[in-house]
Structure 1
């Protein structure tokens, strides 16, 4: 009786592993896609517990992926928008100098005193030109995440400031009495732009960008024509190119920087526009002029609530005009140089869509 029992046990042991092998093979074939998706993570010691966790891991990856999760996942901070409107209060300071017979205002000061001959002009605004700036950016393809054209757009801007200052003219005959001069500083911008966006951060992705701009700009410093003042105005229209960088620092703070070149920003644009008065911007100092300029910006921006944000920036624009030939001012027999610098502080409110 003992031997048949041992044979029955042996036969039963031979049949049970065979059935389990076929069952496990079938289960493995059905579960292989889920296991492959979770292959990067170790399974728990209990095999059935591991199979229960695998579908949840798979569904989480699909939610976060670009194909299935973009409608439900929260938008990335700093993602591009279709329209961005920036209204800012501005404070602008202007510095201006003109020196005969040299290539730079500093070079004139280094000349021997007996060689410092001719009319010179110096202006530095003691009070800022207070005003406003309005900028509009439009990127019509911003929400097409897979398109290389999503960063293509347009920037339009206007800035204007007002102030009055005391002005004096220094020449061979001494210094003229101080006279009050009321002036207006006006700038316009129309540029095409392109931006390349990149992700920054790991907890909640943020977007920064590098970009380029090209187009036309104007800068006009108008002095009240009714006032008898030696202060010189300038009117410029010129092409401009620039590069931009925006890097997220925190969830509501990003660093913005840009630098650009102002190409041939010669003064005296359209001298016939005011009966030839703008022509004096050249004829006072020479017969022709060659100009060059640059601009730079550094600031921070971020989100406040919903579509509203903020922007604080400091901007610089510098122009250098080199004159040749004889001008109408005393001592300007062989040209000279004029330098003009605008320093602006912008504090703005941003609305985006």
Structure 2
């Protein structure tokens, strides 16, 4: 009885129809991948597919590196060369008063004490001209170097116009005379900038910096014209601090403030004969000067390396004279104040 049972079991397994075997094999092949995908991996099978996540993590790391580079590019890395070519409109105001420390102080004196020749000048028309400015930072692309913010600024600004000039003295006021003049400024300064990231959703790069070097400012009156107005010629050291903060993707706020150190007018004796010496001798025997500058504007990108710049600049000078001058009433020196206000609109090219 035991042996037939064994034979039935063996015969039963051996007599499975071949068609059914192929059907079951096909169904198993179709069902196994789906089951493997839905079922958790058994401990024994973990070592098999373990390499696939490893390869995915490598790709993910490479993607993060690419994203990081793209993000850094969006920050606007410092450029090693920046060219600024702008059209300018400049207004000049000038006043000279004897025996006081400021033009406003003279106006507050009683009329009987307002004695001596005074000068007033204001531009009835702006001095139209141009500005060319170059910022060079040769180490700007060295991200890990503390010297990447070290550079140089060179600039020239020039404007031309004609204005009406009057001279007021004890004998009254002279008729207005037209005077043609040229306003010229040069800049040669070393600079350093510290760059920082600004913003949260899409940070960009801003900077705070400092500049130091030489500047000039010359107001030349046409020698051929008979006018009581004399020009001013200044060469002086200057220091300034700069700030540039990105507001939007294509708009940044630029601001600066500076001190103009001993910007004395004229340098007698001078190769210009007595013309520049007259800038001092008219009002006294010696002069001490002080000045300041300020700038506020916006800039940004237009396309590729091209951008725009709109700025308003101020430069103010105060000259204190001592001693006796050649003009009437200037026996105890006095003061002269000069202010330049400039509007700049131009294009920027960065590399």
Structure-1-length-normalised TM-score: 0.83
Shift in Å at residue 232 of structure 1?
1.9
- After superposition, the C-alpha distances for 1:74-125 in whole angstroms (9 at most, x for unaligned) are 6134321111111100000000000000000000011111111110000011
Out of 169, 172, 175, the residue aligned to residue 174 of structure 1 is 172
Shift in Å at residue 352 of structure 1?
1.2
Shift in Å at residue 55 of structure 1?
5.0
Q: What is the distance in 1 between the residues matched to 2:300 and 2:221?
A: 37
Shift in Å at residue 334 of structure 1?
0.3
Query: Which residue number corresponds to residue 254 of structure 1?
Result: 252
Shift in Å at residue 131 of structure 1?
0.4
Query: Which residue number corresponds to residue 63 of structure 1?
Result: 66
Q: What is the distance in 1 between the residues matched to 2:101 and 2:320?
A: 7
> Which structure is larger by alpha-carbon Rg, 1 or 2?
2
Query: Which residue number corresponds to residue 193 of structure 2?
Result: 195
Contact 1:271/1:277 (8 A) holds in 2: no
Q: What is the distance in 2 between the residues matched to 1:133 and 1:171?
A: 37
Shift in Å at residue 187 of structure 1?
0.2
SS in 1 for 2:145: coil
Q: 1:288/1:58 Cα in 2 relative to 1: closer, same or farther (>3 Å)?
A: same
* Structure 2: gaps of 5 or more residues: 1-41
Shift in Å at residue 63 of structure 1?
3.3
Q: What is the distance in 2 between the residues matched to 1:179 and 1:218?
A: 27
Query: Which residue number corresponds to residue 9 of structure 2?
Result: none
After superposition, residues 63-102 of structure 1 pair within 5 angstroms as: 63-65=66-68, 70=69, 75-102=73-100
Q: What is the distance in 1 between the residues matched to 2:200 and 2:268?
A: 54
Query: Which residue number corresponds to residue 104 of structure 2?
Result: 106
Out of 314, 324, 331, the residue aligned to residue 326 of structure 1 is 324
Q: What is the distance in 2 between the residues matched to 1:154 and 1:112?
A: 51
After superposition, residues 257-336 of structure 1 pair within 5 angstroms as: 257-269=255-267, 271-336=269-334
After superposition, residues 1-16 of structure 1 pair within 5 angstroms as: none
- After superposition, the C-alpha distances for 1:168-202 in whole angstroms (9 at most, x for unaligned) are 10000001111110100000000000000111234
Q: What is the distance in 1 between the residues matched to 2:269 and 2:253?
A: 41
Q: 1:52/1:138 Cα in 2 relative to 1: closer, same or farther (>3 Å)?
A: closer
Query: Which residue number corresponds to residue 243 of structure 2?
Result: 245
Shift in Å at residue 58 of structure 1?
3.4
Query: Which residue number corresponds to residue 115 of structure 2?
Result: 117
Structure-2-length-normalised TM-score: 0.83
1:342 and 2:347 matched? no
SS in 2 for 1:212: strand
Contact 1:77/1:251 (8 A) holds in 2: no
* Aligned alpha-carbon RMSD (Å): 2.2
Shift in Å at residue 60 of structure 1?
3.4
Q: 1:62/1:352 Cα in 2 relative to 1: closer, same or farther (>3 Å)?
A: closer
* Structure 1: gaps of 5 or more residues: 1-19, 32-47
Out of 198, 210, 213, the residue aligned to residue 211 of structure 2 is 213
Q: What is the distance in 1 between the residues matched to 2:323 and 2:271?
A: 24
- After superposition, the C-alpha distances for 1:257-295 in whole angstroms (9 at most, x for unaligned) are 000000000001354221121001000000000000000
Query: Which residue number corresponds to residue 39 of structure 1?
Result: none
Shift in Å at residue 204 of structure 1?
3.7
Q: What is the distance in 2 between the residues matched to 1:135 and 1:64?
A: 35
Q: What is the distance in 1 between the residues matched to 2:322 and 2:65?
A: 69
Shift in Å at residue 151 of structure 1?
0.5
After superposition, residues 147-162 of structure 1 pair within 5 angstroms as: 147-162=145-160
Query: Which residue number corresponds to residue 227 of structure 1?
Result: 225
SS in 1 for 2:74: coil
